[in-house]
């Protein structure tokens, strides 16, 4: 069960980005991959018109979704389409979500995940201020889907900092989790590897962390270090920066053995979010 994670250095040219992504997906298919994960903003990075892009896609007039479907069919490959802007299905004129689509090898969209956590953060870099909520609405649902390589949970980038989402995916039966990302160079250097390994270890899932890795329009520098992490937290493949295809194999027997030897899912105790947490009693 071969897996592929793709790293890109996307810019503002949608058609140019799609051409680059197609070449990388072809490499993944040639390497035997059954599932390939594209990074966040794979089709457009640095554009200031996500609403227009999303509206065109929603009305069937944009290039991105037809391209994804065709690539999946041509290459006989399941594809996680990183993220692209898409409005809610029933509200085409509403603010777009940062949407990750799962397309099967017949070119059918079988799952849609709208990014739950939006990156509204101040970072000590050349840009300084990031406000995804200016352009995007947050999603509301946890999403899983069955694939030929296992039960897949979908997440995106900043979600990595919220372990309760990953616990919910594990509780829903996830065996692999995707995290297409575009971490800043500053936050990536500080936390990227720690986060992707931690999410893999605590869920005992394969973590498929596609990434943007390089310099983009609008003074944006991304960290890169796309990686495939196994359920024990080992990094099976990694790329520092630049466009690349990473390949690894899911060992379902070893994953089952890890879960049997350390049955953390059976030991987990849940606490209500608004629990009455009282000060510890002082014993004399």
pLDDT digits (tens, 9 = 90+) for 104-135: 999 999 999 999 999 999 999 989 999 999 99
> Which pLDDT does position 284 carry in this prediction?
46
pLDDT digits (tens, 9 = 90+) for 25-72: 999 999 999 999 999 999 999 998 999 999 999 999 999 999 999 999
> Which pLDDT does position 48 carry in this prediction?
87
pLDDT at 184 over 50: yes
CA distance 104 to 147: 8
From the candidates 57, 69, 99, 115, which is the catalytic residue?
115
Q: Is 115 a catalytic residue?
A: yes
Minimum mean pLDDT among 56-70, 103-117, 213-227, 258-272: which range?
A: 258-272
| Mean pLDDT on 162-169 | 97
CA distance 7 to 242: 7
- The mean of the pLDDT values for the chain is 95
Query: Which CATH architecture describes the domain 2-267?
Result: 4-Layer Sandwich (3.60)
Closest listed residue to residue 103, CA positions, set 113, 116, 89: 113
The number of beta carbons lying within 10 Å of the beta carbon of residue 91 is 10
Question: Are the C-beta atoms of 175 and 148 separated by less than 8 Å?
Answer: no
CA distance 151 to 128: 38
pTM (predicted TM-score): 0.95
- Which 8-state DSSP code applies to residue 261? H
Taking each helix axis as running N to C, give the angle between helix 50-58 and helix 64-75, from 0 to 180 degrees, rounded to the nearest 10: 60
Q: Is 40 a catalytic residue?
A: yes
CA distance 196 to 157: 10
CA distance 228 to 247: 8
More confident residue, 46 or 149: 149
Phi, psi (rounded to 5 degrees) for 102: -105, 120
Question: Are the C-beta atoms of 74 and 99 separated by less than 8 Å?
Answer: no
| Sheet arrangement for strand 206-209 | 144-147, 150-154, 176-178, 206-209, 226-229, 235-239
Closest listed residue to residue 14, CA positions, set 58, 37, 45, 35: 45
42 Cβ neighbours under 8 A, 6+ residues apart = 6, 8, 10, 17, 21, 81, 82, 83, 84, 180
> Which pLDDT does position 218 carry in this prediction?
85
Is 250 strand, coil or helix? coil
From the candidates 157, 175, 205, 221, which is the catalytic residue?
157
> Which pLDDT does position 1 carry in this prediction?
73
- Domain extent listing, the chain: 2-267
Is 183 strand, coil or helix? coil
């Amino acid at each position: 069960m071969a897996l592929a994670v793709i790293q890109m250095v996307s810019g503002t040219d949608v058609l140019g980005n799609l051409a680059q992504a197609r070449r990388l997906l072809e490499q993944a298919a040639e390497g035997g991959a059954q599932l390939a994960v594209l990074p966040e903003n794979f089709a457009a990075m640095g554009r200031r018109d996500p609403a227009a892009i999303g509206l065109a896609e929603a009305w069937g007039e944009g290039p991105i979704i037809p391209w994804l479907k065709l690539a999946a069919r041509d290459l006989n490959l399941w594809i996680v389409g990183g993220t692209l802007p898409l409005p809610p299905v029933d509200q085409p004129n509403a603010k777009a979500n940062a949407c990750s689509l799962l397309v099967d090898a017949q070119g059918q969209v079988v799952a849609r995940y709208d990014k739950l956590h939006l990156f509204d953060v101040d970072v000590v870099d050349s840009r300084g201020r990031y406000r995804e909520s200016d352009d995007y609405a947050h999603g509301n649902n946890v999403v899983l889907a069955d694939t030929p390589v296992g039960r897949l949970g979908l997440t995106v980038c900043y979600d990595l900092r919220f372990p309760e989402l990953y616990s919910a995916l594990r509780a829903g039966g996830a065996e692999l989790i995707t995290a297409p990302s575009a971490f800043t160079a500053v936050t990536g250097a500080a936390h990227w590897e720690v986060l992707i390994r931690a999410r893999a270890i605590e869920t005992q899932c394969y973590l498929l962390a596609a990434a943007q890795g390089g310099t983009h329009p609008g003074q944006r520098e991304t960290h890169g270090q796309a990686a495939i992490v196994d359920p024990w937290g080992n990094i099976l493949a990694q790329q520092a920066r630049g466009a690349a295809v990473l390949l690894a194999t899911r060992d379902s027997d070893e994953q089952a053995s890890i879960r049997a030897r350390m049955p953390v899912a059976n030991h987990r105790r849940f606490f209500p979010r608004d629990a009455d947490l009282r000060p510890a009693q002082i014993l004399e």
